[in-house]
Structures are given as structure tokens and as C-alpha cells.
Structure 1
Amino acid sequence: MDTASIKNLFRLKSIPTEPKQEQLPKTEAIPNEESLEESRKRTYHESGYRDSSRTNGNHSTLSICLDVVYSKFQNEEKEMVEKQQKLKESYVNEQKNRETEIKALTVSQENKEEQLRNKNKEIENHQNTIESLKAEILDLPRNPEKYNVKATKGASAKFWIGLILLIPITLYLATFYISTSYSAFFKSFDAKSTVIQSVLDANAWMKAWYDGFIEVAFVTLIPFVFLGLGFLIHMFGENKTRANYIKLGLLFIVTFVFDSILAYEIESKLYELNKTFDSPPFDLKIAFTKIQFWGIIFAGFIVYIIWGLVFDFVMKEHREKDKIKSELEIRQKKVISLSEKINVLKKEIEEVITNIANTKELIIKTRGRIEELQNIIDGVIIPTKDYKLYASEYVQGWITFIGEKIAVSRTEKQTMIDDCIATYNTNLENVGANSDGQNLVYLSSL
């Protein structure tokens, strides 16, 4: 095999890093970039040929020589300032971007920390408000005026006195109207009955029970009619309007008329028992002259008015207690609402803390990357494609000597060449210039 054939067999095509430009007319004074590269290739080729001649093409020595070649290539690349700046340009730009990223992350972290402080402060304010509300809940029933609540302290003596009076008056009205309604509409009088016995019959309800369902239902339910009228007096009296005053007047008139009817019926039955042939028919004129008639009216009507006034007074006193209760409920609802807000804020704080931790971790990683980039910028970038190109020229020179000057059989010569190529590939693997990393660079910090 001649020298040209061996060289063509071993040569590796390099991938150009820049598109070829149209060559300018060559001048002897200023050599162009193409001639410098060719000169450098030729230098490596000649070095390989020369070193191979000194060692008779020994592949073991080739390994040592390739290490020296790599060191030489590294030193040459270090001296090429402009080329190094160009190779490092992408790392410099990335470093600037990383520094900008750190500034943005730092601002984000500060904002999140400010959010964390604000949320903690908000929780503290809510907790203070809750403590204040709980203190008010305890103190409000004792000192309502302190909190601008226009209500008396607790249940006043007037309330209890009114309630105590209301119970017997209610029982009286029930007894009175059961008896008078039964006497007026269902009872049959006899000559032996006194006026009191005629109006207030102790067995009125039992007699109505025996008389039938209608009778017992009527005398049982009629007291509730008057109690309902008394309740309406209270309701209309709460809103002091002209219409309500008219309604109050009508209620009093209706009650008075109904009591008058009861009194008239009872007095009519008593009059029939005692009249003679000379007695005129019973009418209103006669009824108005009877003391019993007015006694029945006022025994019911006046007591009914008293019941309505006492009931109204008791309800007003109870409303004073309701004011305090209402204020307490308002404060309790505020406590619940603030507690819910605190729970929401605590969840938000957990998220913010997690985000801060992630941001800090990202800042640390970014700073680490900046340090790596700085090491790259401070070091020497070895373009593996270029090294492979020049190393192949060196080995080609080495093999050229073997092909031209070593006098051995064709088989032995091919074995030597194969061993040299294997040593060359091992060297590429060791320096990171293997075929899988042709587009990468190898960094050596000096």
C-alpha cells in the first residue's frame, strides 16, 4: 500500500464550523485564514511523521505522543484570545442571563417574604380581635352601656314582677271568660242562683263538657281570643303610627262590645227570673241601670286591658335582653368568621413558605451554574472537532512513516497501522473527543 492510499484511508472529514466565504485574491504580504489552518495541519502531520521515525512507529509510544499533542494543542488554543472569546461568548451570555434570573428570583423571594410577613401580621391582628371579642362576650351582659348597647343589665326586677303578675291575670281571664261565656250562652238559671253564682260558675267547664263538644270547645277557646287581642295591642303598640293607633282603638271597642254582650245576656237571664207582669221587656236602657251589668263588663274588660299592658311591659323588658343576646350573637359570628380567615391564611402561608424554599433552592442552583460558567470562562475551551482534526493529521503523519519507511511484511505493517488507529481512538475517548461528542467542547481549567 502506497503512502497516498494509507492517508486517504485514515483521513477524517472535519465539519466546518462556519460557512465558506468567497476567497479574496491572495497576497503574499497577508496570509489568509485558510493558509494558516493548512499550515497548522501540515505542522501536525510533519510532527507525526518525525516522531514516528524516532520510535519506528511503535503504537505504545504513539499514546504518549498523543498526550503531548493534546497538551500542545491546548496551549495553542489558550494563546488564541479572539478564538477563545468567540468560543466563550455563549457561556458569557448564559452567565448574564443567569445573573438576571437571580435578580428576578431575589425580587420574587423578597416579595414572597413580604407577603409572609403581611399574612402573619394579619393573623396576629385577627387573633387579637378574637381575644377582644371574647372579652366583650363575657363583659357585655354586665356592662352593655360600655359597648353602646341600649339595654338594661340582665333581666330586671320589673321583668320578673311583670311576668309573675301576668301568670295569675292570665288564669283569671281564662276562668272569667269560661264562666261568663258558659253562663251567657248555655246555662239555664233558676230562682235559687245568686248573681255571683250566675256569673262565675265553678263547674262551668265540666257542665260544658257534659253538654257537648261545641259547648266545651267554645268555652275553652274563647279566652285565647281575648289573649290574642291583648297580644295585638302589644304588636300595634311597637310601631307608633296613626294606622296602628286606629287599630288599637278598634280592638278596645271590639273587646268592650263583646264584654257588653256577655254582660247583657247574663243580666237578661237574671232579669227574666225576677220580672213581674208589670215589668217592661229587658232592653239596653234597663241593662245600663244595672250594677251587675257594669260589674261584668269591667271585671273582664278592665282586667283585659291590664293584662295587655302588663304583657306589653314584659315583652319590652324581654326585648332589652334580646338586644344583648343579639349583640352577643354578632360577636360570636365574627369570632367564627375570623377563625375561618385565620385557617385560610395559614394554608396560604404554607404555600408561600414552600414557594420561598423552592425559590431559594433555584437561586442556589443558578448561582452554582454561574460558578460553573465562570470556571469555563476562566479556563480554556478545547474544541473537540478541531482537536480531532489536528490529531488525525498527526496520526496520519505517524502512519505515513510506517507505510513508507518500515520494512516489514504487508500483514505486519497493516497490524501496526491498526494498532495505531486503535491507540488514536482511545486517545479521543480519553479527552472527550469521541464520535458521540463531536459537537461538544472539552473544558480544561488552567
Structure 2
Amino acid sequence: MDILAIKKGLFNTKSPEIKESNPIIGLQGKGGLTYTQWGFQKAGELGGSLAGLQACLHIVYLDIKKKIIEDDSKQNELKQPHRIKIEHLKGENEKINGLISNDTSKLTHEENKIETLKEELSNIKKHPESVTSDPAVKASFIIGIVILVFLTVYLFIFYSSATYSAFFKEFALNNIGVASSIFDPNAIGRALTDGVAELALILTIPFVFLGLGYLINKFQEQKGFGKVMKVGMLILITFMFDSILAYGITEKIYNITKENSFENIPAYKLNMAFSDIHFWTIIFAGFIVYIIWGFVFDFVMDSYAKLDKVRVAMEHIKTKIADSKLECKKIKQEIQISKDTASANNSEIEKEKRIIDGIIVPISDIKLEIMNFQAGWLSFLQGIGFTTPTSIEIQESVTAFVRNADSDNRNS
């Protein structure tokens, strides 16, 4: 018995109801063959070749695809998840649009706030009196600084010269005048010649008076009767120190005059100093200027406080502007993220719509029936003991076909 007869015998034995005039394929339960039965049949007709298998696989694929396409109920079932996904994405976009609208309102509020703050900043620059109640505060501060510098230089020269004259200078007849006594241009040079201690004293003594003036200003910032006592004490100390300097200088002037006089002149006494015009000249040249320096220093510090108040107000507004700009940047980033998300959702919605408008062919259904067809094909080959092609070659061929069919189905 030849091979063809064996095949026909096996075919009739395994599936006696199959005839060549039967329909190629019919769904199970619809009066046709199952894919397993048809696989068995076609393997017998085509000798189990791989070329025949590939041809039959295409027929099976197209037949399954056709039935899925024509099954409206199946299509509705397959498209329902995509419709649900579209509704879900639309709902997300509604929420996102609400967030974008809310963030846009916040952004507008912050941008308006920045413009308002910039206007406030400009107004403070143009009208600092709105903060300080003094329209000329800057000019007053500059003028006060200039006066204070010159008064400080004057006091430094006065107290360094007066201290040197009172404690170290040896007077001669040609320099017994008040001016040469308290404004000695060579006081520092002579003190350096006399010794380091003398130089240190006349260089630092002016800062003692400046320090007293600074303390007076700080005590005036305090509240209560105690500040009056403290300020009064400091002024009294300064006056006494100036008096000592004035007394020392006028005594030296008096003594040098006495030593070079042929008359019997009495010794210099304290009551004589109070009636000596030179004594009061030195007092006024030092102490009164010192008092003026204190008032100017108070004025300068007050002007500085007002300017600082302006500066603080401007810095406060600049900080608010910077914070609002950071908030605007943050809001813009959030809006952009929301827009990107909405755009991605819209792209996904369009993709889902294209799927719904098209035909859905689930590869799992196709794969299942192809595996059934393969099972029938292998059943025939195993029944007659065929070794070529092997079951592995058939499996690889079917797997490659399913993979290509899946790729074509995704791209279609």
C-alpha cells in the first residue's frame, strides 16, 4: 500500500465525515468543521509540508479575522473598554482644565500683585516722605554728614593740641597767645619726639570726647528720667575735663607772663581762671563745639534711621516681588505640566477613537484557533509516523506566523 493510500486510510479512519466538497472552514457548532479537524484534513491533503502549512495558516487567519469583523456583538464587546477609557480620559481632562483655570487665576493675581508692588517701590523712590514724613531726608543726611566730618576733624585737632599744651608743652613768651596754645600745628610731631606715651595720649584723647558724645546719643534713645541723669552726668564730665584743660593752659600762660614780669604778680588761682577771658575762650572753643557735634550727630543718626526705614521698606517690597515671581514661576510650571498631561490625554483619546472607528482583531483569539489548527496538523503527521518536517519545525513556523500576524494586526 503506497503512502497516499495510507494517508487516505488514516484520514477516513480519524475523520470519516470529511469530504473534499465540504466547506473549507466553519465555526464549531455551526454545521462546519473545527479548526482542529480541518488541520488534520489539510495535513493529509498537502502531505504535511511546511509550504502547505504556511498557506493554510493564512487561510485560517483570514477566516478567523473575517468572522471577528462580521461579529457586531464581538466588536462592541472589544470596543467597550476603549469607550470607557475615552470617557475616563475626558473626565481627567475636565479636572485638568479646572486646575488650569484655577492656576491661571492665581497667576493673574500674582502678576497683578507684582505690578502693584513695583508701583509702590517706584512711589517710595520718588516720594520717600511717604515712609519717613521728611521730604528732604536724603539731603539732610548728606549735609549732616559733611558738617559732622568737619566738626570731628576740628575736635580732633583741638583736643590733641589742647591736651599737649596742657600737659606737655613748655610755653615761651612768643607763644603765650590762646590761639597758639590750643592750635599747635606741631603738637603731634613734638609729642612723638617727647615719647610714645605722649603721642598715644594726644592721639587718643579726642576719641574720649567723641565716645562721650556717642554715649549721650545712645542714652537719649532710652526712656524715663534715668536717661536725663546719665546725659547730664556725661555733659558735666565733659565740661569738667574741658575746664581742666583750659585751666592748665591759662595757668601756663599766666605763669610765663609772671616769670617775665618785673612786677610782683600773685600766684594763679581758680577764681582768677573764672574771670580770665582766655579760660572761657578755650571752654567755648572745645566744649561748645563738642555740644554742637553731639546735636549734629543726633541729627545725622535720626536722618540715617529715616533713610534706613526707607531702605527697609524698599527691601521688604523687593522681597515680596521676588516671592511673587517665584510663585509665578511655580504656577507656570504647574500649568505647563497640566497642559502636557491634557495634551497626552487628547492624543490617547484620538488613538482610542481610531481604534473604535476601525476593527479590533484580538490576536489571542486568532492564536487560539491557529493552535487548534496546528494540533490537527500534528495529529495527522504523528498518526502516520512522519518525521519530516519535525514537530519543532512546525512549531517554529506557526510561532513565526503568529508573531508576524500580531505585528501586521498592530500596524493595521
Equivalent of 1:320 in 306, 324, 327: 306
Which protein is bigger by CA-based radius of gyration?
1
Provide the rounded CA distance (Å) in 1 between the counterparts of 2:275 and 2:114.
72
- Following superposition of structure 1 onto structure 2, how do residues 221-260 of structure 1 map, counting pairs within 5 Å? 221-260=204-243
Shift of 1:92: 5.7
**More divergent stretch after superposition (224-233 vs 159-168):** 159-168
Q: Secondary structure at the match of 1:203?
A: coil
1:120 aligns with 2:104: yes
Provide the rounded CA distance (Å) in 1 between the counterparts of 2:161 and 2:366.
120
Provide the rounded CA distance (Å) in 1 between the counterparts of 2:89 and 2:186.
94
Q: Which residue of 2 aligns with 1:109?
A: 93
Provide the rounded CA distance (Å) in 2 between the counterparts of 1:341 and 1:247.
52
Shift of 1:304: 0.7
Q: Which amino acid aligns with 1:170?
A: T
Shift of 1:211: 3.0
Structure 2 CA distance for partners of 1:104 and 1:246, relative to 1, 3 Å: farther
Q: Secondary structure at the match of 2:117?
A: helix
Equivalent of 2:369 in 376, 384, 391: 384
Provide the rounded CA distance (Å) in 1 between the counterparts of 2:271 and 2:151.
32
1:330 aligns with 2:312: no
Structure 2 CA distance for partners of 1:58 and 1:175, relative to 1, 3 Å: closer
Q: Is the 1:141–1:153 contact (alpha carbons within 8 Å) kept by the matching residues of 2?
A: no
Point out where structure 2 has 5 or more consecutive residues left out of the alignment. Answer: 16-27, 48-55, 390-397
1:132 aligns with 2:116: yes
Q: Which residue of 2 aligns with 1:153?
A: 135
Shift of 1:140: 1.6
Q: Which residue of 2 aligns with 1:215?
A: 198
- Following superposition of structure 1 onto structure 2, how do residues 164-175 of structure 1 map, counting pairs within 5 Å? 164-175=146-157
Q: Which residue of 2 aligns with 1:194?
A: 176
Q: Which residue of 1 aligns with 2:287?
A: 301
Q: Is the 1:154–1:321 contact (alpha carbons within 8 Å) kept by the matching residues of 2?
A: no
Q: Is the 2:138–2:307 contact (alpha carbons within 8 Å) kept by the matching residues of 1?
A: no
Shift of 1:187: 0.7
Provide the rounded CA distance (Å) in 2 between the counterparts of 1:39 and 1:357.
51
**TM-score if structure 2 supplies the norm length?**
0.66
Q: Which amino acid aligns with 1:345?
A: I
Q: Which residue of 2 aligns with 1:22?
A: none
Shift of 1:383: 7.8
Task: For residues 224-257 of structure 1, give each alpha carbon's deviation from its aligned partner in whole angstroms, at most 9, with x where no partner exists.
Answer: 3222322232233234355544432332232122
Q: Which residue of 1 aligns with 2:340?
A: 354
Structure 2 CA distance for partners of 1:272 and 1:113, relative to 1, 3 Å: same
Shift of 1:286: 5.2
Q: Which residue of 2 aligns with 1:183?
A: 165
Q: Is the 1:142–1:153 contact (alpha carbons within 8 Å) kept by the matching residues of 2?
A: no
Aligned length: 362
Q: Secondary structure at the match of 1:141?
A: helix
Q: Secondary structure at the match of 2:132?
A: coil
Provide the rounded CA distance (Å) in 2 between the counterparts of 1:108 and 1:356.
8
Provide the rounded CA distance (Å) in 2 between the counterparts of 1:158 and 1:435.
94
Q: Which residue of 2 aligns with 1:264?
A: 247
Q: Is the 1:166–1:311 contact (alpha carbons within 8 Å) kept by the matching residues of 2?
A: yes
Q: Is the 1:151–1:323 contact (alpha carbons within 8 Å) kept by the matching residues of 2?
A: no
Q: Which residue of 2 aligns with 1:24?
A: none
Q: Secondary structure at the match of 1:268?
A: helix
Structure 2 CA distance for partners of 1:263 and 1:41, relative to 1, 3 Å: closer
Shift of 1:302: 2.0
Q: Is the 1:229–1:251 contact (alpha carbons within 8 Å) kept by the matching residues of 2?
A: yes
Provide the rounded CA distance (Å) in 2 between the counterparts of 1:37 and 1:133.
82
Q: Is the 1:142–1:154 contact (alpha carbons within 8 Å) kept by the matching residues of 2?
A: no
**TM-score if structure 1 supplies the norm length?**
0.61
Provide the rounded CA distance (Å) in 1 between the counterparts of 2:109 and 2:196.
68
Q: Which residue of 2 aligns with 1:63?
A: none
Shift of 1:303: 1.6
Task: For residues 345-391 of structure 1, give each alpha carbon's deviation from its aligned partner in whole angstroms, at most 9, with x where no partner exists.
Answer: 33333333322222222222233334457x679xx9998379959x9
Provide the rounded CA distance (Å) in 2 between the counterparts of 1:197 and 1:388.
131
Q: Secondary structure at the match of 1:187?
A: coil
Q: Which residue of 2 aligns with 1:341?
A: 327
Q: Which amino acid aligns with 1:202?
A: D
Q: Is the 1:230–1:308 contact (alpha carbons within 8 Å) kept by the matching residues of 2?
A: yes
